[in-house]
Structure 1
Amino acid sequence: MTDLRPETSPPIEAVLFDFSGTLFRLEEDDSWFAGMELDSSLSPAQSREVDGHVQAELMRRLTAPTGRSVSMTPEALEAWMNRDLAPHLHREAYLHVLRESGLAHHHAEALYAHVIDPSCWTPYPDTGPVLAGLRRRGVTTAVVSNIAFDLRPAFDPLGGGVDEFVLSFEVGAVKPDPVIFQTALDRLGVAADRALMVGDSDEADGGARALGCRFALVDPLPTRERRDGLIAALWAHGLQV
Protein backbone atom coordinates (compact mmCIF):
# COMPACT_ATOMS: atom_id res chain seq x y z
CA MET A 1 0.00 0.00 0.00
CA THR A 2 1.27 3.47 -0.88
CA ASP A 3 1.88 5.74 2.11
CA LEU A 4 -0.17 8.88 1.43
CA ARG A 5 0.85 10.71 4.59
CA PRO A 6 2.47 14.11 3.85
CA GLU A 7 6.23 14.23 4.04
CA THR A 8 7.63 16.10 7.02
CA SER A 9 10.74 18.21 6.91
CA PRO A 10 13.72 17.01 8.91
CA PRO A 11 14.33 18.88 12.16
CA ILE A 12 16.40 22.05 12.02
CA GLU A 13 19.84 21.47 13.51
CA ALA A 14 21.47 24.78 12.59
CA VAL A 15 20.43 28.37 11.99
CA LEU A 16 22.46 30.70 9.79
CA PHE A 17 21.95 34.42 10.41
CA ASP A 18 22.72 37.48 8.37
CA PHE A 19 24.20 40.33 10.43
CA SER A 20 23.10 43.78 9.24
CA GLY A 21 19.34 44.29 9.41
CA THR A 22 18.88 40.83 10.91
CA LEU A 23 20.78 40.46 14.18
CA PHE A 24 22.10 44.02 14.43
CA ARG A 25 21.36 47.38 12.83
CA LEU A 26 23.57 50.39 12.28
CA GLU A 27 21.60 53.16 13.97
CA GLU A 28 22.99 56.64 13.95
CA ASP A 29 23.54 58.88 16.91
CA ASP A 30 23.02 62.59 16.34
CA SER A 31 26.54 63.16 17.62
CA TRP A 32 27.89 61.39 14.53
CA PHE A 33 26.66 64.28 12.41
CA ALA A 34 27.55 67.17 14.71
CA GLY A 35 29.07 69.97 12.66
CA MET A 36 28.55 68.18 9.34
CA GLU A 37 27.28 70.05 6.31
CA LEU A 38 26.73 68.98 2.76
CA ASP A 39 29.26 70.24 0.25
CA SER A 40 27.17 72.48 -1.98
CA SER A 41 29.70 72.15 -4.80
CA LEU A 42 28.94 68.41 -4.92
CA SER A 43 25.24 68.62 -4.21
CA PRO A 44 24.04 72.11 -5.15
CA ALA A 45 20.35 71.17 -5.14
CA GLN A 46 20.36 70.12 -1.49
CA SER A 47 20.38 72.09 1.71
CA ARG A 48 23.80 72.31 3.35
CA GLU A 49 22.38 71.16 6.66
CA VAL A 50 22.61 67.47 7.48
CA ASP A 51 19.12 67.22 8.96
CA GLY A 52 17.15 64.12 9.96
CA HIS A 53 16.05 63.35 6.42
CA VAL A 54 19.60 63.60 5.09
CA GLN A 55 20.88 61.44 7.95
CA ALA A 56 18.28 58.75 7.20
CA GLU A 57 19.22 58.71 3.52
CA LEU A 58 22.94 58.50 4.27
CA MET A 59 22.33 55.59 6.62
CA ARG A 60 20.21 53.84 3.99
CA ARG A 61 23.01 54.18 1.48
CA LEU A 62 25.47 52.75 3.99
CA THR A 63 23.40 49.70 4.89
CA ALA A 64 21.35 48.68 1.84
CA PRO A 65 22.30 45.04 1.17
CA THR A 66 22.07 45.25 -2.62
CA GLY A 67 21.97 47.83 -5.40
CA ARG A 68 23.79 51.17 -5.66
CA SER A 69 22.62 54.65 -4.85
CA VAL A 70 25.06 57.08 -6.51
CA SER A 71 26.74 57.47 -9.88
CA MET A 72 30.01 55.61 -10.22
CA THR A 73 33.03 55.66 -12.47
CA PRO A 74 34.20 52.26 -13.75
CA GLU A 75 36.85 52.24 -11.01
CA ALA A 76 34.34 53.10 -8.29
CA LEU A 77 31.91 50.49 -9.61
CA GLU A 78 34.63 47.84 -9.51
CA ALA A 79 35.32 48.69 -5.87
CA TRP A 80 31.60 48.67 -5.10
CA MET A 81 30.98 45.27 -6.67
CA ASN A 82 33.86 43.78 -4.68
CA ARG A 83 33.54 45.85 -1.50
CA ASP A 84 32.78 42.89 0.75
CA LEU A 85 35.84 40.95 -0.34
CA ALA A 86 38.56 43.27 0.94
CA PRO A 87 38.75 46.04 3.56
CA HIS A 88 40.48 48.50 1.24
CA LEU A 89 37.78 48.09 -1.41
CA HIS A 90 35.07 48.46 1.22
CA ARG A 91 36.61 51.71 2.39
CA GLU A 92 37.06 53.03 -1.14
CA ALA A 93 33.50 52.11 -2.13
CA TYR A 94 31.73 53.67 0.84
CA LEU A 95 33.85 56.82 0.92
CA HIS A 96 32.89 57.29 -2.73
CA VAL A 97 29.20 56.87 -1.85
CA LEU A 98 29.46 59.40 0.98
CA ARG A 99 31.38 61.94 -1.08
CA GLU A 100 28.93 61.58 -3.98
CA SER A 101 26.13 62.06 -1.45
CA GLY A 102 27.54 65.49 -0.65
CA LEU A 103 29.80 64.97 2.37
CA ALA A 104 33.21 66.57 2.44
CA HIS A 105 36.07 64.07 2.62
CA HIS A 106 36.83 64.53 6.33
CA HIS A 107 33.16 64.14 7.22
CA ALA A 108 32.91 61.03 5.05
CA GLU A 109 35.95 59.58 6.84
CA ALA A 110 34.40 60.27 10.25
CA LEU A 111 31.07 58.67 9.36
CA TYR A 112 32.72 55.66 7.75
CA ALA A 113 34.68 55.08 10.97
CA HIS A 114 31.36 54.41 12.72
CA VAL A 115 30.30 51.93 10.03
CA ILE A 116 33.25 49.65 10.68
CA ASP A 117 33.20 50.00 14.47
CA PRO A 118 31.38 46.94 15.92
CA SER A 119 30.47 48.92 19.05
CA CYS A 120 28.36 51.28 16.92
CA TRP A 121 25.99 48.50 15.86
CA THR A 122 22.80 47.96 17.88
CA PRO A 123 21.46 44.43 18.47
CA TYR A 124 17.78 43.76 17.97
CA PRO A 125 16.01 43.19 21.31
CA ASP A 126 15.62 39.45 20.71
CA THR A 127 19.11 38.79 19.31
CA GLY A 128 20.67 37.78 22.62
CA PRO A 129 17.69 35.70 23.82
CA VAL A 130 17.43 33.91 20.47
CA LEU A 131 21.12 32.96 20.36
CA ALA A 132 21.00 31.78 23.97
CA GLY A 133 17.77 29.86 23.37
CA LEU A 134 19.15 28.05 20.34
CA ARG A 135 22.26 27.07 22.26
CA ARG A 136 20.12 25.61 25.05
CA ARG A 137 18.23 23.56 22.47
CA GLY A 138 21.46 22.23 20.96
CA VAL A 139 20.91 24.09 17.67
CA THR A 140 24.19 25.39 16.28
CA THR A 141 24.48 28.86 14.77
CA ALA A 142 26.57 30.79 12.28
CA VAL A 143 26.67 34.40 11.21
CA VAL A 144 26.97 34.54 7.42
CA SER A 145 27.66 38.09 6.35
CA ASN A 146 28.75 40.10 3.34
CA ILE A 147 31.14 42.33 5.23
CA ALA A 148 34.73 43.55 5.15
CA PHE A 149 35.49 44.08 8.83
CA ASP A 150 35.59 41.80 11.87
CA LEU A 151 32.16 42.01 13.49
CA ARG A 152 32.84 39.43 16.21
CA PRO A 153 33.37 42.05 18.96
CA ALA A 154 29.76 43.20 18.50
CA PHE A 155 28.64 39.94 20.11
CA ASP A 156 30.82 40.22 23.21
CA PRO A 157 28.23 42.20 25.23
CA LEU A 158 25.71 39.44 24.43
CA GLY A 159 27.96 36.74 25.83
CA GLY A 160 28.84 35.36 22.42
CA GLY A 161 26.44 32.59 21.55
CA VAL A 162 27.56 32.09 17.92
CA ASP A 163 29.37 28.90 16.90
CA GLU A 164 30.84 30.10 13.60
CA PHE A 165 31.41 33.38 11.78
CA VAL A 166 31.52 33.08 7.99
CA LEU A 167 32.49 36.52 6.72
CA SER A 168 32.81 37.27 3.02
CA PHE A 169 36.18 39.02 3.25
CA GLU A 170 37.63 36.03 5.10
CA VAL A 171 36.25 33.27 2.85
CA GLY A 172 36.39 35.04 -0.53
CA ALA A 173 32.73 34.63 -1.46
CA VAL A 174 29.67 36.86 -1.11
CA LYS A 175 26.00 36.03 -0.82
CA PRO A 176 24.11 34.80 -2.81
CA ASP A 177 27.06 32.67 -3.96
CA PRO A 178 26.33 29.15 -2.64
CA VAL A 179 29.98 28.86 -1.62
CA ILE A 180 29.54 31.09 1.42
CA PHE A 181 26.51 29.15 2.66
CA GLN A 182 28.19 25.80 2.02
CA THR A 183 31.20 26.99 3.99
CA ALA A 184 28.93 27.67 6.97
CA LEU A 185 27.23 24.29 6.67
CA ASP A 186 30.56 22.49 6.41
CA ARG A 187 31.93 24.24 9.48
CA LEU A 188 28.83 23.36 11.46
CA GLY A 189 28.73 19.82 10.10
CA VAL A 190 25.07 20.12 9.11
CA ALA A 191 23.26 19.12 5.92
CA ALA A 192 21.50 21.89 4.00
CA ASP A 193 18.03 20.39 4.50
CA ARG A 194 18.54 20.63 8.27
CA ALA A 195 19.49 24.31 8.24
CA LEU A 196 17.53 27.55 8.28
CA MET A 197 18.90 30.81 6.89
CA VAL A 198 17.48 34.01 8.42
CA GLY A 199 18.09 37.34 6.71
CA ASP A 200 16.63 40.62 5.53
CA SER A 201 17.42 40.24 1.81
CA ASP A 202 15.58 37.73 -0.33
CA GLU A 203 18.14 38.34 -3.08
CA ALA A 204 21.28 37.84 -1.00
CA ASP A 205 20.28 35.71 1.99
CA GLY A 206 17.68 33.77 0.04
CA GLY A 207 20.52 32.31 -2.01
CA ALA A 208 20.80 29.62 0.66
CA ARG A 209 17.70 28.00 -0.83
CA ALA A 210 19.76 26.91 -3.84
CA LEU A 211 21.52 24.43 -1.54
CA GLY A 212 18.29 23.20 0.01
CA CYS A 213 18.27 25.35 3.15
CA ARG A 214 15.03 26.76 4.47
CA PHE A 215 14.78 30.54 4.51
CA ALA A 216 13.07 33.12 6.73
CA LEU A 217 12.86 36.77 5.72
CA VAL A 218 12.89 39.48 8.40
CA ASP A 219 12.21 43.19 8.02
CA PRO A 220 15.24 45.44 8.74
CA LEU A 221 13.16 47.90 10.76
CA PRO A 222 14.69 50.11 13.43
CA THR A 223 15.42 48.08 16.55
CA ARG A 224 12.76 49.91 18.58
CA GLU A 225 10.13 48.85 16.02
CA ARG A 226 11.06 45.17 15.72
CA ARG A 227 11.00 43.57 19.13
CA ASP A 228 10.52 39.89 18.28
CA GLY A 229 11.16 39.48 14.56
CA LEU A 230 13.75 36.75 15.03
CA ILE A 231 11.57 34.84 17.48
CA ALA A 232 8.66 34.97 15.03
CA ALA A 233 10.86 33.80 12.15
CA LEU A 234 12.06 30.80 14.11
CA TRP A 235 8.60 29.93 15.37
CA ALA A 236 7.33 29.88 11.78
CA HIS A 237 9.83 27.08 11.14
CA GLY A 238 9.02 25.10 14.27
CA LEU A 239 11.76 26.43 16.53
CA GLN A 240 10.60 27.82 19.85
CA VAL A 241 13.24 29.60 21.93
Structure 2
Amino acid sequence: MTIQAVMFDFSGTLFRLEQDESWLADLTDHDGDPLDVEAQAELMRRMTAPVTQTVQFDDEHRHAWENRDLDPALHHKIYLEVLRQSGVPRVEQAKALYDRLIDPAEWNPYPDTGPALKALNERGVRVGVLSNIAFDIRPAFGAHGFDAYVDEFVLSFEVGAIKPDPAIFRLLLDRLGAAPEHTLMIGDSEEADGGARELGCAFALVEPLPTTERPDALLAALREHSLL
Protein backbone atom coordinates (compact mmCIF):
# COMPACT_ATOMS: atom_id res chain seq x y z
CA MET A 1 0.00 0.00 0.00
CA THR A 2 1.42 3.36 -1.04
CA ILE A 3 1.28 6.02 1.68
CA GLN A 4 0.55 9.44 0.22
CA ALA A 5 -0.14 11.37 3.43
CA VAL A 6 0.94 11.21 7.07
CA MET A 7 -0.99 12.58 10.04
CA PHE A 8 0.92 13.24 13.25
CA ASP A 9 -0.20 13.78 16.82
CA PHE A 10 1.55 16.64 18.65
CA SER A 11 2.16 16.01 22.37
CA GLY A 12 4.30 12.96 23.04
CA THR A 13 4.73 12.38 19.31
CA LEU A 14 6.37 15.38 17.64
CA PHE A 15 6.95 17.55 20.72
CA ARG A 16 7.07 17.03 24.47
CA LEU A 17 6.61 19.39 27.40
CA GLU A 18 9.76 19.11 29.49
CA GLN A 19 10.31 21.45 32.41
CA ASP A 20 13.57 22.85 33.61
CA GLU A 21 14.35 22.94 37.31
CA SER A 22 13.27 26.56 37.70
CA TRP A 23 9.62 25.72 36.94
CA LEU A 24 9.02 23.78 40.12
CA ALA A 25 11.76 25.09 42.38
CA ASP A 26 9.51 27.51 44.27
CA LEU A 27 6.37 25.39 44.43
CA THR A 28 5.11 24.58 47.90
CA ASP A 29 2.55 22.09 49.16
CA HIS A 30 -0.40 22.60 51.51
CA ASP A 31 1.99 22.92 54.47
CA GLY A 32 4.21 25.44 52.72
CA ASP A 33 7.02 22.91 52.18
CA PRO A 34 8.86 22.60 48.85
CA LEU A 35 7.71 19.74 46.62
CA ASP A 36 10.18 16.86 46.61
CA VAL A 37 11.57 15.36 43.40
CA GLU A 38 9.00 12.56 43.27
CA ALA A 39 6.14 14.99 43.76
CA GLN A 40 7.50 17.21 41.00
CA ALA A 41 7.77 14.28 38.59
CA GLU A 42 4.21 13.17 39.36
CA LEU A 43 2.97 16.71 38.91
CA MET A 44 4.41 16.89 35.39
CA ARG A 45 2.98 13.48 34.54
CA ARG A 46 -0.47 14.64 35.55
CA MET A 47 -0.16 17.83 33.52
CA THR A 48 0.82 16.01 30.34
CA ALA A 49 -1.19 12.75 30.56
CA PRO A 50 -2.94 12.67 27.17
CA VAL A 51 -6.01 10.62 28.07
CA THR A 52 -5.94 9.24 31.59
CA GLN A 53 -7.87 11.01 34.35
CA THR A 54 -5.28 11.32 37.09
CA VAL A 55 -7.39 12.78 39.92
CA GLN A 56 -11.00 12.50 41.08
CA PHE A 57 -13.54 15.11 39.96
CA ASP A 58 -17.03 16.14 40.95
CA ASP A 59 -19.64 16.41 38.18
CA GLU A 60 -18.75 20.00 37.35
CA HIS A 61 -15.06 19.30 36.95
CA ARG A 62 -15.68 15.99 35.18
CA HIS A 63 -17.54 17.91 32.48
CA ALA A 64 -14.62 20.31 32.21
CA TRP A 65 -12.16 17.40 31.96
CA GLU A 66 -14.14 15.67 29.23
CA ASN A 67 -14.43 18.87 27.20
CA ARG A 68 -11.10 20.51 28.05
CA ASP A 69 -9.70 20.21 24.53
CA LEU A 70 -12.76 21.86 23.02
CA ASP A 71 -12.77 25.03 25.11
CA PRO A 72 -9.73 27.00 26.36
CA ALA A 73 -11.73 28.24 29.38
CA LEU A 74 -12.56 24.69 30.46
CA HIS A 75 -8.95 23.64 29.85
CA HIS A 76 -7.75 26.41 32.16
CA LYS A 77 -10.34 25.53 34.79
CA ILE A 78 -9.64 21.81 34.92
CA TYR A 79 -5.86 22.05 34.94
CA LEU A 80 -5.93 24.48 37.84
CA GLU A 81 -8.05 21.87 39.63
CA VAL A 82 -5.59 19.10 38.69
CA LEU A 83 -2.75 21.20 40.07
CA ARG A 84 -4.68 21.95 43.25
CA GLN A 85 -5.35 18.26 43.86
CA SER A 86 -1.75 17.44 42.99
CA GLY A 87 -0.27 19.49 45.80
CA VAL A 88 -0.17 23.05 44.42
CA PRO A 89 -2.81 24.84 46.52
CA ARG A 90 -1.67 28.42 45.87
CA VAL A 91 -3.58 29.79 42.88
CA GLU A 92 -0.79 32.11 41.75
CA GLN A 93 1.67 29.22 41.61
CA ALA A 94 -0.79 27.02 39.75
CA LYS A 95 -1.50 29.77 37.21
CA ALA A 96 2.20 30.34 36.59
CA LEU A 97 2.72 26.63 35.98
CA TYR A 98 -0.33 26.41 33.75
CA ASP A 99 1.03 29.26 31.64
CA ARG A 100 4.09 27.11 30.98
CA LEU A 101 1.88 24.26 29.82
CA ILE A 102 0.15 26.34 27.16
CA ASP A 103 3.23 28.25 25.98
CA PRO A 104 4.35 26.67 22.67
CA ALA A 105 7.89 27.93 23.32
CA GLU A 106 8.17 25.55 26.28
CA TRP A 107 7.60 22.45 24.15
CA ASN A 108 10.66 20.58 22.88
CA PRO A 109 10.72 18.70 19.57
CA TYR A 110 11.93 15.13 19.46
CA PRO A 111 15.37 14.80 17.82
CA ASP A 112 13.91 13.32 14.65
CA THR A 113 10.87 15.59 14.32
CA GLY A 114 12.56 17.96 11.89
CA PRO A 115 14.25 15.23 9.82
CA ALA A 116 11.03 13.22 9.59
CA LEU A 117 8.91 16.17 8.48
CA LYS A 118 11.54 17.36 6.03
CA ALA A 119 11.94 13.89 4.51
CA LEU A 120 8.22 13.60 3.90
CA ASN A 121 8.10 17.06 2.37
CA GLU A 122 10.95 16.20 -0.01
CA ARG A 123 9.13 13.02 -1.08
CA GLY A 124 5.96 14.95 -1.84
CA VAL A 125 4.01 13.27 0.96
CA ARG A 126 1.27 15.44 2.40
CA VAL A 127 1.66 16.13 6.14
CA GLY A 128 -0.97 17.04 8.71
CA VAL A 129 -0.84 17.60 12.45
CA LEU A 130 -3.89 16.51 14.41
CA SER A 131 -4.08 17.36 18.10
CA ASN A 132 -6.52 17.25 20.99
CA ILE A 133 -5.47 20.58 22.43
CA ALA A 134 -6.87 23.89 23.65
CA PHE A 135 -4.16 26.29 22.47
CA ASP A 136 -2.45 27.13 19.20
CA ILE A 137 0.64 24.96 18.64
CA ARG A 138 1.64 26.47 15.30
CA PRO A 139 4.21 28.81 16.90
CA ALA A 140 6.11 25.78 18.24
CA PHE A 141 6.60 24.59 14.67
CA GLY A 142 7.42 28.06 13.40
CA ALA A 143 10.12 28.54 16.02
CA HIS A 144 12.03 25.60 14.54
CA GLY A 145 11.14 26.17 10.90
CA PHE A 146 9.04 23.00 10.86
CA ASP A 147 5.90 24.82 9.74
CA ALA A 148 7.30 24.79 6.20
CA TYR A 149 6.85 21.01 6.17
CA VAL A 150 3.27 20.86 7.51
CA ASP A 151 0.43 21.24 5.04
CA GLU A 152 -2.48 21.32 7.50
CA PHE A 153 -3.12 21.71 11.23
CA VAL A 154 -6.36 20.44 12.75
CA LEU A 155 -6.70 21.40 16.42
CA SER A 156 -9.64 20.17 18.46
CA PHE A 157 -10.53 23.50 20.05
CA GLU A 158 -10.75 25.10 16.60
CA VAL A 159 -12.89 22.44 14.93
CA GLY A 160 -15.11 21.22 17.78
CA ALA A 161 -14.16 17.54 17.72
CA ILE A 162 -11.62 15.39 19.54
CA LYS A 163 -9.84 12.14 18.77
CA PRO A 164 -10.88 9.34 18.53
CA ASP A 165 -14.02 10.80 16.93
CA PRO A 166 -13.79 9.74 13.27
CA ALA A 167 -15.00 13.20 12.28
CA ILE A 168 -11.74 14.89 13.22
CA PHE A 169 -9.64 12.39 11.27
CA ARG A 170 -11.98 12.72 8.30
CA LEU A 171 -11.65 16.51 8.42
CA LEU A 172 -7.87 16.35 8.18
CA LEU A 173 -8.01 13.74 5.44
CA ASP A 174 -10.30 16.01 3.45
CA ARG A 175 -8.00 18.98 3.93
CA LEU A 176 -5.02 16.92 2.84
CA GLY A 177 -6.91 15.53 -0.13
CA ALA A 178 -5.93 12.05 1.01
CA ALA A 179 -7.72 8.71 1.01
CA PRO A 180 -7.59 6.89 4.36
CA GLU A 181 -6.23 3.72 2.79
CA HIS A 182 -3.24 5.74 1.60
CA THR A 183 -2.69 7.58 4.90
CA LEU A 184 -0.57 6.80 7.96
CA MET A 185 -1.39 8.16 11.44
CA ILE A 186 1.50 8.38 13.92
CA GLY A 187 0.75 9.02 17.59
CA ASP A 188 1.49 8.06 21.17
CA SER A 189 -2.03 7.03 22.20
CA GLU A 190 -3.56 3.74 21.10
CA GLU A 191 -6.94 5.00 22.27
CA ALA A 192 -6.98 8.48 20.75
CA ASP A 193 -4.65 8.32 17.75
CA GLY A 194 -5.43 4.71 16.96
CA GLY A 195 -8.97 5.80 16.16
CA ALA A 196 -7.74 6.60 12.65
CA ARG A 197 -7.84 2.87 11.89
CA GLU A 198 -11.64 3.00 12.00
CA LEU A 199 -11.51 4.97 8.75
CA GLY A 200 -8.99 2.61 7.19
CA CYS A 201 -5.76 4.47 7.93
CA ALA A 202 -2.55 2.69 8.87
CA PHE A 203 -1.35 3.47 12.40
CA ALA A 204 2.08 3.58 14.06
CA LEU A 205 2.44 3.91 17.83
CA VAL A 206 5.37 5.77 19.40
CA GLU A 207 6.15 6.00 23.10
CA PRO A 208 5.88 9.46 24.76
CA LEU A 209 9.33 9.15 26.34
CA PRO A 210 11.59 12.08 27.25
CA THR A 211 13.14 13.54 24.12
CA THR A 212 16.62 12.40 25.18
CA GLU A 213 15.41 8.79 25.35
CA ARG A 214 13.63 8.61 21.99
CA PRO A 215 15.98 9.68 19.21
CA ASP A 216 14.50 8.03 16.13
CA ALA A 217 11.04 6.53 16.69
CA LEU A 218 9.44 8.74 14.04
CA LEU A 219 12.03 7.81 11.44
CA ALA A 220 11.62 4.15 12.34
CA ALA A 221 7.84 4.39 11.83
CA LEU A 222 8.37 5.98 8.42
CA ARG A 223 10.83 3.29 7.43
CA GLU A 224 8.39 0.56 8.45
CA HIS A 225 5.88 2.05 6.03
CA SER A 226 8.40 2.49 3.19
CA LEU A 227 8.47 6.26 3.47
CA LEU A 228 12.26 6.50 3.85
Note if 1:156 corresponds to 2:142. Answer: yes
Identify the residue that residue 226 of structure 1 maps to in structure 2. 214
| Alignment deviations for residues 106-141 of structure 1 (CA, whole Å, 9 cap, x no partner) | 111010000000000000000011111100000011
1:85 aligns to what SS in structure 2?
coil
Query: Could you tell me which of 5, 8, 12 is aligned with 1:21?
Result: 12
1:57 aligns to what SS in structure 2?
helix
Which amino acid in 2 is paired with 1:183? L
Query: Could you tell me which of 49, 54, 73 is aligned with 1:88?
Result: 73
1:165 aligns to what SS in structure 2?
strand
In the TM superposition, residue 67 of structure 1 has moved relative to its aligned partner by 1.8
Q: TM-score normalised to the size of structure 2?
A: 0.96
Matches within 5 A, 1:58-137: 58-103=43-88, 104-137=90-123
Which amino acid in 2 is paired with 1:133? A
Which amino acid in 2 is paired with 1:238? S
Task: State the Cα RMSD in Å.
Answer: 1.0
Could you tell me whether the CA contact under 8 Å between 1:124 and 1:223 is conserved in 2?
yes
Which amino acid in 1 is paired with 2:38? H
| Alignment deviations for residues 9-62 of structure 1 (CA, whole Å, 9 cap, x no partner) | 2x1010000000000000011111121111139xxxxxx322221121111111
Which amino acid in 1 is paired with 2:152? E
Could you tell me whether the CA contact under 8 Å between 1:25 and 1:122 is conserved in 2?
yes
Could you tell me whether the CA contact under 8 Å between 2:17 and 2:101 is conserved in 1?
yes
| Alignment deviations for residues 153-193 of structure 1 (CA, whole Å, 9 cap, x no partner) | 00013211211000000110000000110000000000000
Matched residue count: 225
Task: Extract structure 1 runs of 4+ deviating beyond 3 A.
Answer: none
Note if 1:145 corresponds to 2:131. Answer: yes
Matches within 5 A, 1:185-200: 185-200=173-188
In the TM superposition, residue 81 of structure 1 has moved relative to its aligned partner by 0.4
Could you tell me whether the CA contact under 8 Å between 1:23 and 1:124 is conserved in 2?
yes
Which amino acid in 2 is paired with 1:112? Y
Could you tell me whether the CA contact under 8 Å between 1:40 and 1:102 is conserved in 2?
no
Identify the residue that residue 5 of structure 1 maps to in structure 2. none
Identify the residue that residue 39 of structure 2 maps to in structure 1. 54
Which amino acid in 1 is paired with 2:123? R
User: Equivalents in 2 of 1:40, 1:92: separation in Å?
Assistant: 23
Which amino acid in 2 is paired with 1:120? E
